[in-house]
Structure 1
Amino acid sequence: MRLARPRIRPLAILAAPILVIAAVPVIAQNSGPPGAPDRARVAAGTYAADPGHTMVVWEVDHFGFSKYSGIFGDVTGTLAIDPANLAAARLDVTIPVAKVTTASAGLTAHLLRAGKDGGKPDFFGAAPADAKFVSTKIVLDDDGDEAKVTGNLTLNGVTKPVTLDVDFHGAGTNPYNKKATVGFQAEGKIKRSDFGITFGIPAVSDEVELEIHAAFEKQ
């Protein structure tokens, strides 16, 4: 008795390589991300901020009803770092205030609106200067993966010292451009009145909470 040979359908033949290709990114994902919180992965040198993956998130209290936040993106600048002497690291970044964005087109426009009849704008105005942060002091914790970074923040034409609580997020090689990359996250608080931005206080809080996510690529 002859056994019937199984029929191989054309669609099954086409589907097989597609399934294999589709599985490749899944396998890559299962091997873990390219970066890890391992100080041994940090190479000494000068790094440039990755504008597409560096942002400053700000948050204020609105009328005591809710928190409201916005983002400064496209951050540029440099980080000079040596894992053998982390306290000597130097950070110099520029934040384009004119590119501020919020979840509301109307509020974003208000932030960048010119002053009425040539007067002082409520917030940043129509052509705000870039903000800048330059570190002046770094104090590490005992493990070396957290630090208090103090620097001079220039915003709205005013320069004031600001201290950020910074956590080392990870380091490794970017799989796309093959550059050594380090990443950090930081938190801090400022009073906007210190920088001459007083509109709406106290209904809209004077205190501004900052949450920063930053990636730097070795040059």
Structure 2
Amino acid sequence: MRKTLLTAALLAFAGSAFAAPVTYNIDPNHTDVIAQWSHFGFSNPSAHFGKADGTIVYDAENVSASSVQVTLPLSGLNSFIGDFDDHLRSADFFDAEKFPTASFKSIKVEAAGEGKLKVTGNLTIKDITKPVVLDVTLNKAGEQPMAKRAAIGFDAVATVSRTEFGVGKYAPAVSDEVKLRITTEALVPKAE
């Protein structure tokens, strides 16, 4: 009996010792970052930040070893209204010609309940970096049936102050608070 318990303990230790974080590449076709705000209290328009590029490192056994790093090219910004997209990319807001990307890099990942995480990181817009906390829900981890390789999917929400990032034109009449909703799917890179 004692030998069986010792063997089981050694196998369990060996399994956890070899468990490692898994690195996934963000799939830009199945990732969307949506910003929404109040427009003078009359409506709540939104804009999508597509073409996300980055990596997610996820360790299910030790979530604090997990991380995320994402770049959002502002060329992917889409409110579905061309003139408005041009205005958002102008110097009034993102000044996309001078600052063509926004980015997020995690600095801490914490468990927040079953299938939930708190991801603290640095958001950079217009070369201004501020901390942001994402409330994250793990949607699914497993084999993606079309790609035939490991995948993971998350949803996340956060609220940011746009004036802190130098995109505060018309605030506070147009709300300073912007709600971010993120959905992402990421895949283990293809074997070379």
**Which of 90, 105, 108 in structure 2 is aligned with 1:137?**
108
* C-alpha displacement of 1:125: 2.3
Residue by residue over 1:8-57, the C-alpha shift from the partner in whole angstroms, topping out at 9 and shown as x without a partner, is xxxxxxxxxxxxxxxxxxxxxxxxxxxxxxxxxxx942110001111110
Answering whether residue 77 of structure 2 is matched by residue 100 of structure 1, we say yes
Q: Does the residue aligned with 1:61 lie in a helix, a strand or coil?
A: coil
Corresponding residue for residue 72 of structure 1: 49
Bigger mean CA deviation after superposition, 82-91 or 62-71: 82-91
**Which of 25, 41, 61 in structure 1 is aligned with 2:38?**
61
| Distance (whole Å) between structure 1 residues aligned to residue 175 and residue 139 of structure 2 | 30
Q: Does the residue aligned with 2:44 lie in a helix, a strand or coil?
A: strand
Query: Which of structures 1 and 2 has the bigger CA Rg?
Result: 1
Indicate the structure with greater strand content.
Answer: 2
| Distance (whole Å) between structure 2 residues aligned to residue 184 and residue 49 of structure 1 | 11
Answering whether residue 185 of structure 2 is matched by residue 215 of structure 1, we say yes
Letter in 2 for 1:169: N
Answering whether residue 131 of structure 2 is matched by residue 161 of structure 1, we say yes
Bigger mean CA deviation after superposition, 170-179 or 69-78: 170-179
When the two structures are aligned, how many residues end up with a matched partner? 169
* C-alpha displacement of 1:200: 1.0
* C-alpha displacement of 1:103: 2.5
Conserved in 2, the CA contact under 8 Å of 1:97 and 1:130?
yes
Conserved in 1, the CA contact under 8 Å of 2:92 and 2:169?
yes
**Which of 167, 170, 181 in structure 2 is aligned with 1:200?**
170
Unpaired segments ≥5 residues, structure 1: 1-42, 114-120
Please give the root-mean-square deviation of Cα atoms over the aligned residues, in Å.
1.4
Q: Does the residue aligned with 1:93 lie in a helix, a strand or coil?
A: strand
Unpaired segments ≥5 residues, structure 2: 1-19
Q: Does the residue aligned with 1:133 lie in a helix, a strand or coil?
A: strand
* C-alpha displacement of 1:157: 1.1
Corresponding residue for residue 29 of structure 2: 52
| Distance (whole Å) between structure 2 residues aligned to residue 196 and residue 49 of structure 1 | 27
Conserved in 2, the CA contact under 8 Å of 1:170 and 1:184?
yes
Conserved in 1, the CA contact under 8 Å of 2:46 and 2:79?
yes
Conserved in 1, the CA contact under 8 Å of 2:157 and 2:182?
yes
Instruction: Give the TM-score of the pair, scaled to structure 2.
Output: 0.84
Letter in 2 for 1:91: V
Structure 1 runs (4+) greater than 2 angstroms displaced: none
